Amino acid sequence: MVIAIMVAAAGGLYSASATSNSQMSMTTTIVSSVTSSMGGMSTVAPVLIQQNATTADYKLQLIVGPPAQMLTTSQTATATAGEVMVGGEMVSMTMGMAGVYHLEVHVYNLMSGAVVTDKNVTIQIVNNATHQATNVPIVVMYDMMVGLSDTHFGNNVNLAPGNYTVTVNVAGETATFNITIPT
């Protein structure tokens, strides 16, 4: 089953849909808000895309929003906001550069609702027009303002306007999200 939604808001046309293997439910929310931390200040920033999907054992939440300031654990002593990296390596990108987004996937145990932090997660983005595939270097991180309950997987990514397929694999279970980045 594939569900697609298009919304005209916040100066752009946003659309999203999701499917997954062994999918029991899927919801999509577009143009929401999330706490973003840039330059040491915490602000509420628009989420371009938020989608939920389930696999046999996991609930996945995909969020695509503004680029995030990534912090090492040693930087948290002086920082007031940011994404604390507990594993992996961030991608070097210019924060103000057009086309840079923060892509994150939250993974929850379907039965207990517990945040999953110890499974192998991969994320691949395919540009539907060019068929170019990009494997996202995975960072395990959490928002320092929220704490460990916000643990998620992802990175800052460069996405030109267009349609993409995002494939997330968690411990052998796959969910596929279809997203549109507006012009």
- Identify whether the C-beta of residue 49 lies closer than 8 Å to the C-beta of residue 62: yes
pLDDT value of residue 46: 59
For 172, residues 6+ apart whose C-beta sits below 8 A from its C-beta are none
pLDDT value of residue 32: 40
Q: Which domains does the chain have, with CATH numbers?
A: 3-181 (2.60.40)
C-alpha to C-alpha distance for 53 and 59, rounded to whole angstroms: 6
The H or E element containing residue 166 is strand 162-170
Task: Label residue 127 exposed, middle or buried (CB < 10 Å: 0-12, 13-18, 19+).
Answer: middle
The whole-model pTM stands at 0.76
Q: In what order do the strands lie in the sheet with 133-135?
A: 3-9, 12-20, 173-181, 162-170, 121-127, 133-135
pLDDT of the chain, 183 residues: tens digit per residue: 333 333 333 333 344 445 544 443 334 444 444 333 334 433 344 568 999 999 999 999 999 999 989 999 999 999 999 999 999 987 765 555 668 999 999 999 999 999 999 999 999 999 999 999 999 999 999 999 999 999 999 999 999 999 999 999 999 999 999 999 988
